[in-house]
Homo-oligomer: A and B are copies of this chain.
């Protein structure tokens, strides 16, 4: 999902936020000073930056303005200061939101969601394999520009392969991710499923170029 950078010199708070965010499928990095925040942000290109205003050394407002110079990440300020003038300064420096400590983790998460909802990550995850086009976000498959209709199971299997293009996926892994935990030995399901998939997606289903069988092991999406 999204990447978040937490910047605060209170290591206990950083730890708590990191855990809370990770639980909700965010990728989390952290920094404990202004300069460190800038270099880390340059490296990991976070979607959201949570920044404490009370950093030692560098002024928090300056950090925000520096980030705004080259990053379009959403910036949420976490601050112990409730003074209106500080809020106005931070927001006008380029922050997107301002949250006064203490705050609840649920509110923070909701604000992170609100702020990320606005900026759909530029790179839409479209996997291309020859004349196939698999859009994982839109749940959409095109072959030679034409929409192909897939059933839920067909899509689930294709999506598993498309998330790791070129990589081999074992029978057991496919069965568990498509049918659910508890399945793992019913390889006959896979045979009929892939026959149907190839009929829809391959120009010549009898000599597949993308949905490749690895005998005795699993299947693979070849680009």
> Are A138 and B164 neighbours in the complex by a CB distance under 8 Å?
yes
Closest chain-B Cβ to A134's Cβ sits at a distance in Å of 13
> Are A84 and B96 neighbours in the complex by a CB distance under 8 Å?
no
> Are B96 and A114 neighbours in the complex by a CB distance under 8 Å?
yes
Q: A88-B107, A216-B152 are in contact. Are A118 and B96 (CB under 8 A)?
A: yes
Closest chain-B Cβ to A180's Cβ sits at a distance in Å of 15
Number of copies of this chain that the complex holds: 2
Closest chain-B Cβ to A71's Cβ sits at a distance in Å of 14
Q: A interface, how many residues as a size bin?
A: 35 or more
User: Which of B87, B117, B139, B217 contacts A110 (CB under 8 A)?
Assistant: B87
The residue on B at minimum CB distance from A91 is B110
The answer to whether A25 has its CB under 8 Å from any CB of chain B is: no
> Are B114 and A216 neighbours in the complex by a CB distance under 8 Å?
no
Report the bound CA distance from A110 to B93 in whole Å. Answer: 10
Closest chain-B Cβ to A207's Cβ sits at a distance in Å of 13
Closest chain-B Cβ to A58's Cβ sits at a distance in Å of 22
The answer to whether A192 has its CB under 8 Å from any CB of chain B is: no
User: Which of B87, B117, B118 contacts A107 (CB under 8 A)?
Assistant: B87
By a beta-carbon cutoff of 8 Å, the part of chain A in contact with chain B is 84-85, 87-88, 91-92, 94-98, 104, 106-107, 109-111, 113-115, 117-119, 137-140, 147, 149, 151-152, 155, 164, 166-168, 212, 214-217, 220, 222
